[in-house]
Structure 1
Amino acid sequence: MVVGGGISGLQSALDLADSGYRVYLVEKKASIGGTMAQLDKTFPTNDCAMCIMAPKLVAAGRHHNIQLITNADIAIVDGQAGNFTVTVRQRAFRVDPTKCTGCGSCAQKCPIEAVDEYNEGTKIRKAIYVAYPQAVPLIYSIDPEKCIGCGICAEECKAKAVDYDQKEKVFEIKVGSIIVSPGFDEFNARLKPEYGYGVYPNVVTSIEFERMLSATGPYFGTVLRPSDGDIPEKIAFIQCVGSRDEHCGNEYCSSVCCMYSIKEAIIAKEHGGNIKPSIFFMDMRAFGKEFDDYYNRAKNEYGIRFVRSRAAAVVENPKTKNLMIKYVENGEPKEEEFGLVVLAVGLTPPADAENLSRVMKFRLNDDGFCQTGAFSPVETSRPGIFVSGAFSSPKDIPMTVAEASGAAAKAGTEITASRNTLITKKVYPKEIDVVGKEPRVGVFICHCGINIGGVVNVPEVMEYAKTLPNVVYAEQNLYTCSADAQEKIKEKVKEHDLNRVVVASCTPRTHEPLFQNTIREAGLNAYLFEMANIRDQCSWIHMHEPKAATKKAKALVRMALAKSRLLEPLENLIINVNQDALVIGGGVSGMVSALELAKQGIKVHLVEREKELGGNLRKLHYLPSGDDPDEYLKKVDQEIRANKNITLHLGTTVKTIDGYVGNFKTQLTDGSEMEHGVVVVAVGGREYKPEGEYLYGKNANVMTLLEFKGKMKKGEVKGDSYVFIQCVGSREDKFPNCSRVCCTGTMTAANKIKDKDPNAKVYVLYRDIRTYGFREKYYKEAAQKGVTFIRFDDEKKPVVEDKGGKIEVRLIDEDTGKEVVLRPDCLVLASGTRPEEGSEELAPMLKVPITKEGFFLEAHMKLRPIDFATEGVYLAGIAHSPKFVDESIAQALGAVARAMTILSKTTLEAEGIVASVDEQYCDGCGICVPTCEYKALEIIDNKKIKDKKIVDVNVGLCKGCGACVGACPAGALTQKGFRDEQILAMIDAALVEEPKKQEVKQ
């Protein structure tokens, strides 16, 4: 059972359901989606939140092994791990979900208005309502506190779904394990009266501003002031409202606010080019993967102003409704007027956290979040009950998704014996025979909120599509990827006897499988589908040229239609799955992945280049939480060596990897060979050695942070004064991003020094202190113990010189403008994290990309943080990006859950778009063979013609790239789904000059 239907609960449910388990997804609201469904965009890619989330919403809603139980709460949890009895209380919808079609006619006629919670009170809804247009399940419900029982909705409902007498349901469900993912609440900004929220109309919270930016929000994506509907010239973002604030009881950092404010400022700037955003902050905590790139882009490309100051107060001008912000910058009191103020509210525990804790019998921490351990980040205090997402600590979406998969892995381990015993197999209708029939094409054009509709004249493109040959139906949708749009596509296929479907929307990289599955449910072959990418290839890159973008969108639709007429049904080949796994890397991530896979009955080959396991964990020695990493390493090492499902390969590396998902073959440098179905990449990273910087390598008392911790562990540190320099080898031109762990590592070391000698002088030289989440307490602890913090500018780094064998550090204090001279006994360099050696060689073997810094690049930064684009290969730990031990463990467990979606099966369907050989024309020349990056081609004997060679295509290995087709001089190779005539038809369509027509008004 998964409790909570936000992105965390969704990911857990999908992973478990795809791994052979029956899942009950319980959500307290009437629809799933959580906070992510309210967001306009996501950082750092600026993807439309609904666009990337909708496929998961639809997948959960239509999954045959997920039962959605919405509008429900957990009442009682009895039993123990492996055998829980959960009592669920489901509130009455007053609408029969089996009858409601989601048409919305009831809400149109309802006379009673109420505050729209989804839009954070910026809009109104009716007493009978659905939370948002893409809601899953798309079932209306009646608000019992607002409904007056007039009966109008019941009269209006043609499906007779309204049932005023519907009662609350209480029922029991037997489950083996439970995942708790209730998410978080936003801080109540009224508790900070100095900012005027709830008093001044032009002071809004960050989540309200998200809705204001959204196409489905109160102003349809235009940035307007609530007081008068004008576009504000200047917008101020005030950080840390309800975070890092002991006065309101929330001393922790909420981890996400800095980045979402940068995102909101960028989007506001894109929506209104003349808007001037300013962000008032204390420390810019852009600690995630490529977050500093995003931060720098905001400053340098968008001109967003950053003011290092905690705003003291906001005062309204009663005549203009403008807002005066009072703040101190560089010691000087200032006042500045803005048209709109956005309060970056922090994350707090959900309102029902205490009740959940009481009912489910697990502990909360001092801040009211679910208590977890440093080495057990997804486990609650009660065995068999697991946790993920912001309920355990404030975190961003990528870490939430990784944790959700990690919780799914632990939940699956608990009930491994029941895998594949309670599931039902999805059955598709008999496929419609379209061979020889005239193409009948349906075209569905997406507004994508304002991602497309804000630039492209979608109604005009739709009308144009209706004029094109073989188009028998065309329509436009606000979000074509939503659940109701999927149902509509199926309906139109049947209603209009469609045998081809074209969707003009976003990218096929994320959405093509969704639409292919939809038409398959309607009886069409999945490959009778074509997409026109009028977002990435049109509206995004031509956002300031609406007429040109509209013209190009028509051309893209015209080209997609030209190809669609020539589409033909294709078949997916069934391939067998080898159910063993290869884990590359024996640090904490690799060890955890290998052990958890083994506990789920999987045979694992664990490969480590060193002669012993542990990786960077061997160098930590102590954690800020007080937990002992050495003891943990010893325990896991022993468990691995005792597990018969794990084969250790120490002191060796990967030499070659061939094959494809379900069927890989690997050779190691020690000569060992193994076959396996999946690969987990957990090769870790290494500490940067700053040779030639700050006297490192020249003075024995200058050392890196890890070296210093090692000396402390051995009792070899001596001295009365210490200087720590942050961001050594990080946030620089060659390595522009943050290494995430250094600030907290420094706080840990500084506190250790002070614990040992309270009179020791400790100085931390920094640019921003990035002790995010609950790690903020270590920063506060250091300050309270007397550690001195001195901020320097990145253009004026500290200067370190050797003065007769003594260390001298000189720098300009950015807060005072004065020079500071320090003469420490020991200089500690908080040096950054670098990718592990060998990553660049491993990446091409696996056909996976790496970032400019050399870390491995995941399939999608937000929603596929553990997957690669190469199916069957997964990612965990520092190989992905720098992170803490608990985060590496969570991601390692997540890789297990993702791997089990493959290894739980005996067969898989291979992609139908592959190369094929016409034996009549192939002369076996072999020119095509070296062009294939995936080694899918080989020369074999022609069985039909003696002494003649031909090329054979391994469809399991083939990725449909088409390189071989282009290389073949005889034209013997054909790319299914991209035949020559299909491509030529698209080219011809691209060259057609569109007749001039009157513009259709939007």
Structure 2
Amino acid sequence: LAVGSIIVAPGFKPYDPNFIEGDYGYNRMANVVTSLEFERILSASGPFQGQILRPSDGHHPVKVAWIQCVGSRKPEICKDYCSSVCCMYATKQAIIAREHDARIQPAIFYMDIRAFGKGFERYYQSAKEKFGVRYVKNMPTPMVRELANGNLVLEYTDDNGKKNYEEFDMLVLSVGLEPSASTKPLAEKLGIELDRFGFCKTDELKPGMTSRPGVYVCGVFNAPMDIPESVQNASSAAYLASKEIATARGTLVVQKKYPQETDVRGQEPRIGVFICRCGTNIARVVDVPGIAEYAKSLPNVVYADEAIYACSTDTQAKMIDLIKKHNLNRMVVASCSPRTHEPLFQDTCREAGLNKFLFEMANIRDQCSWVHATHMPEATDKARDLVRMAVARAGTLEPLYQSPAPLTRTGVVIGGGVAGMVAALGLAEQGFESVLVERTEELGGNLRDIYYTHEKNSDPQALLADLKKQVSRESKIKVYTGAEVKNIAGYVGNYKSTIRTKKGDVDYEHGIVIVATGGKEYKPHGEYLYGKSDKVVTQHKMEELIGRGELDATKLRSVVMIQCVGSREEPNMYCSRVCCTHAVKNALKLKEANPDINVYVLYRDIRTYAMRELVYEEARKQGVLFIKYELAQKPEVTDEDGKLKVKVYDPVIRDELLIPADMLVLSAAIRPQDDAAVLGSTLKVPLNQDRFFMEAHMKLRPLDFVNEGMFLCGLAHAPKFVSESIAQARGAVSRAVTILSQPYLMTGGVVSVVDEDKCVACLTCVRACPFGVPKFGPRNAVVIESAACQGCGICASVCPRKAISVQHYKDGQVVAKSAVLCV
């Protein structure tokens, strides 16, 4: 193959507990399984068809223990790093186990719970409060005792220092991630360097770039990471690889060919129904075989059957064959959410020669099995109703067609921090012009306050200077500082923004929007004497003092750092992700300047994930003291004649400590920008409950907004490191280019249509549309641009003359569905 660039994504392999003989009895005791094996046990296609049974005797376990960090955070076996994902997958498995069987009593033994991702902290709290998952901050000894009945006895020390022996029915080892053996010869062939663990070596401020130009890396081979981050990472790698060959874009594209569409006009409906088990997501609650049998009795249904996974490649091929075999002209799939899977099934229809709009979906997972998990008979009844309604509507569906529309191949990037500058430069490197809008008078955002990273030889200030220089020299980027987006109208491919600048308003037409508005450091006035004592500063301020050489650490004897200030408690129940590493890197800088200084870090959980664990390990070696505190027993700070004292309860010695402090450093939370809601309203995009912008789908579309043509990156999305903001910005560019590089956009389909003969131009729809699409037209009637219409149907619902109808959701189609609800 002759290629312009290479992306390396060989993945990982789970750690093998057999690596250490006697590691918690794995392979010697039948009821000790790895987390991956337990994942299979939970699966409908697993060894017990989705039932949670013990491997030894097939009995239902009641007490199940998870042991964290098996094959991670262990320098003695050269696995110093944190695998990043284990805490959350153990939490997920414990929750699912409880959903499968309410009798199960999950217990998770851990060192630190690292729920650092977006929404993870709330999920962790939900596991404890809603599902009763027990978290035990202790690591049992690896010598497990097996009883005659197959039960397992763990030995550990409780919070009071007392040795405990606890019996469990099953033991799950949360194994870490490691590179497979095949990656070493692969790296040698590609000429790229690996680190001492076998992961690909990259620079902190050059994420995704290997030691060899033109070869890029993504996923776990880069460093341990979860699915959302892997997807973002992959988009970033795609950007890096494609920028090298941007001039050749489209030259080797082959359009997918579909068979000629079958004309079904005038034919009686012949409906095929497929009921998905979705593993156990649906089947453990809903009687899937019974629903499939019921579907056969419904009017116009010619064929009905069940599938383990309707979205699998095998099932898709089977559907195509069945459509042809039974001459089906409508298809219904009862499975999960149409938001994620409807395009897949529509494409299946096209491959079988059916118009893709002759498809209907019943969501019996999200709307049924998930929300009625404890009411199985009622859930089956509801699923039966949903399928009956879907079949009734399917019989009324008509073929619809889309048409090509031109697009504007430029972009607007909102926010001039590191993410915004990288995004604007990325668009330019891909050949597209953009406008970079920054509200302050200077580019750089939070990067202006970062002087060093946890990695040696990384220079954020040099990166900042380089980015600013590149932006100023790039002819394809127009920069507006002291400006903001005042208004935006239009639709994907054809937006028009009004930008308020110092010299007046500027109108700009563009095809996409990238939101990179950043975040800000929380100023904890009223907490821990912040604002009352000049000896109390935030981590950012401490970094600034160190970075600018304004702090003489040799004059300090004791520095105390308090973590999670403004994070991980209501109303801000999220982890700010960077604070633990921030504290550790500052502590090491202080130790470097003054080895005799005492540095105390008061923490709730240390969340130095992935390779950042090595920095935490180094801090402990250098004598930094870490003291855990609980939310219910926060540290107390007093100022006695200008001398700070910090009182904290130490769970190790089970007594209070009174620590004198020359300086107190607060690891303050990252907050979203104050006007995020205003911008969200302008762009008509949602925010989550923590007021960060919300992506379309956490795993499938982590960089997209629900609105087509709008993307997000950086701190506007959630707290993250500079390297992660850079990767996200590149990923957002990659997503944007999928639109900008198209010759045209397909419009139409599920859109609103106006009957001009009925329209009286009352403008009710104009006032009601949240997207501002309906306009008063030249023929004294409202005009709706199909390319801009989102198909929400609000205009049709408020029209007093019934002059507006939504294609694919006409009154007759909706009525047909609702009419059979109470049959």
TM tier relative to shorter chain: over 0.9
> 1:195 corresponds to which letter in structure 2?
Y
Contact 1:241 1:345 in 2 (8 A): yes
1:598 pairs with 2:428: yes
> 1:458 corresponds to which letter in structure 2?
V
User: What do you get for the CA RMSD once the two structures are aligned?
Assistant: 1.1
CA distance in 2, matches of 1:938, 1:293: 43
What is the DSSP-based 3-state SS (H/G/I as helix, E as strand, rest coil) of the residue aligned with 2:90?
Answer: helix
Match of 1:700 in 2: 534
CA distance in 1, matches of 2:379, 2:648: 52
1:183 to 11, 18, 23: 11
What is the DSSP-based 3-state SS (H/G/I as helix, E as strand, rest coil) of the residue aligned with 1:929?
Answer: helix
Contact 1:727 1:742 in 2 (8 A): yes
Superposed counterparts of 1:656-667, under 5 Å: 656-667=487-498
Contact 1:799 1:810 in 2 (8 A): yes
1:223 to 44, 52, 67: 52
> 2:547 corresponds to which letter in structure 1?
K
Match of 1:529 in 2: 359
Match of 2:509 in 1: 675
CA spacing shift, 1:194–1:476, aligned 2, 3 Å:
closer
1:712 pairs with 2:549: no
Match of 2:2 in 1: 174
Match of 1:985 in 2: 816
Aligned-residue offset at 1:314: 3.7
1:840 pairs with 2:657: no
> 1:210 corresponds to which letter in structure 2?
E
Aligned-residue offset at 1:428: 2.3
What is the DSSP-based 3-state SS (H/G/I as helix, E as strand, rest coil) of the residue aligned with 1:941?
Answer: coil
CA distance in 2, matches of 1:350, 1:717: 46
1:199 pairs with 2:28: yes
CA distance in 2, matches of 1:559, 1:698: 64
> 2:31 corresponds to which letter in structure 1?
N
Contact 2:152 2:167 in 1 (8 A): yes
Match of 1:492 in 2: 322
CA distance in 2, matches of 1:437, 1:635: 65
CA distance in 1, matches of 2:302, 2:623: 76
Mean Cα displacement is larger for which, 456-465 or 355-364? 456-465
Contact 2:90 2:174 in 1 (8 A): yes
Identity fraction in percent: 50
> 2:115 corresponds to which letter in structure 1?
A
Structure 1: runs of 5+ lacking an equivalent:
1-172, 943-948, 993-1002
1:243 pairs with 2:77: no
1:967 pairs with 2:795: no
CA distance in 2, matches of 1:664, 1:735: 34
CA distance in 2, matches of 1:318, 1:711: 59
1:323 pairs with 2:143: no
Aligned-residue offset at 1:544: 1.9
1:628 to 459, 472, 489: 459
> 1:869 corresponds to which letter in structure 2?
V
CA distance in 2, matches of 1:485, 1:436: 29
Cα deviation 1:19-66 (Å, max 9, x = unaligned) = xxxxxxxxxxxxxxxxxxxxxxxxxxxxxxxxxxxxxxxxxxxxxxxx
Aligned-residue offset at 1:733: 1.0
Superposed counterparts of 1:911-926, under 5 Å: 911-926=748-763
What is the DSSP-based 3-state SS (H/G/I as helix, E as strand, rest coil) of the residue aligned with 2:402?
Answer: coil
Aligned-residue offset at 1:649: 1.1
CA distance in 2, matches of 1:911, 1:343: 51
Aligned-residue offset at 1:980: 0.9
Aligned-residue offset at 1:318: 4.3
> 1:278 corresponds to which letter in structure 2?
A
2:300 to 459, 463, 470: 470
Match of 1:929 in 2: 766
Cα deviation 1:924-948 (Å, max 9, x = unaligned) = 1111111101111011232xxxxxx
Contact 1:726 1:767 in 2 (8 A): yes
1:542 to 358, 367, 372: 372
1:276 pairs with 2:108: no
What is the DSSP-based 3-state SS (H/G/I as helix, E as strand, rest coil) of the residue aligned with 2:237?
Answer: helix
1:803 pairs with 2:640: yes
Contact 2:713 2:725 in 1 (8 A): yes
> 1:305 corresponds to which letter in structure 2?
R
> 2:538 corresponds to which letter in structure 1?
T
Contact 1:585 1:609 in 2 (8 A): yes
CA distance in 2, matches of 1:175, 1:828: 51
Mean Cα displacement is larger for which, 405-414 or 533-542? 533-542
Contact 2:635 2:647 in 1 (8 A): yes
TM-score norm. by structure 2 comes to 0.98
CA distance in 1, matches of 2:306, 2:662: 70
Match of 2:141 in 1: 312
CA distance in 2, matches of 1:659, 1:502: 34
Aligned-residue offset at 1:438: 1.1
What is the DSSP-based 3-state SS (H/G/I as helix, E as strand, rest coil) of the residue aligned with 2:173?
Answer: strand
> 1:257 corresponds to which letter in structure 2?
C
Superposed counterparts of 1:268-667, under 5 Å: 268-330=97-159, 331-626=161-456, 627-667=458-498
CA distance in 1, matches of 2:454, 2:567: 22
Contact 1:579 1:906 in 2 (8 A): no
Match of 2:62 in 1: 233
What is the DSSP-based 3-state SS (H/G/I as helix, E as strand, rest coil) of the residue aligned with 2:2?
Answer: strand
Superposed counterparts of 1:783-798, under 5 Å: 783-798=620-635
Aligned-residue offset at 1:266: 0.8
TM-score norm. by structure 1 comes to 0.80
Contact 1:578 1:906 in 2 (8 A): no
CA spacing shift, 1:449–1:194, aligned 2, 3 Å:
closer
Contact 2:147 2:153 in 1 (8 A): no
Mean Cα displacement is larger for which, 860-869 or 391-400? 860-869
Aligned-residue offset at 1:715: 2.3
CA distance in 1, matches of 2:744, 2:418: 31
CA distance in 2, matches of 1:197, 1:560: 48
CA distance in 2, matches of 1:484, 1:901: 28
Contact 1:582 1:604 in 2 (8 A): yes
Aligned-residue offset at 1:911: 4.3
Match of 1:106 in 2: none
What is the DSSP-based 3-state SS (H/G/I as helix, E as strand, rest coil) of the residue aligned with 1:934?
Answer: coil
> 1:415 corresponds to which letter in structure 2?
I
Contact 1:722 1:763 in 2 (8 A): yes
Contact 2:497 2:509 in 1 (8 A): yes
Contact 1:658 1:845 in 2 (8 A): no
Aligned-residue offset at 1:952: 0.6
Aligned-residue offset at 1:458: 1.2
Match of 1:135 in 2: none
Match of 1:886 in 2: 723
Contact 2:29 2:146 in 1 (8 A): no
In the TM superposition, structure 1's runs of 4+ consecutive aligned residues that sit over 6 Å from their partners are none
Contact 1:350 1:391 in 2 (8 A): no
CA spacing shift, 1:455–1:632, aligned 2, 3 Å:
same
> 1:266 corresponds to which letter in structure 2?
I
What is the DSSP-based 3-state SS (H/G/I as helix, E as strand, rest coil) of the residue aligned with 2:144?
Answer: strand
CA distance in 1, matches of 2:634, 2:438: 38
CA distance in 2, matches of 1:376, 1:900: 21
Contact 1:194 1:312 in 2 (8 A): no
What is the DSSP-based 3-state SS (H/G/I as helix, E as strand, rest coil) of the residue aligned with 2:231?
Answer: helix
CA distance in 2, matches of 1:591, 1:208: 44
Cα deviation 1:713-748 (Å, max 9, x = unaligned) = 222224221110000000011101100000000000
CA distance in 2, matches of 1:249, 1:664: 53
What is the DSSP-based 3-state SS (H/G/I as helix, E as strand, rest coil) of the residue aligned with 2:665?
Answer: strand
> 1:486 corresponds to which letter in structure 2?
Q
What is the DSSP-based 3-state SS (H/G/I as helix, E as strand, rest coil) of the residue aligned with 1:324?
Answer: strand
> 1:482 corresponds to which letter in structure 2?
S
CA distance in 2, matches of 1:959, 1:315: 59
What is the DSSP-based 3-state SS (H/G/I as helix, E as strand, rest coil) of the residue aligned with 2:488?
Answer: strand
Superposed counterparts of 1:814-853, under 5 Å: 814-853=651-690
Contact 1:868 1:874 in 2 (8 A): yes
Match of 2:706 in 1: 869
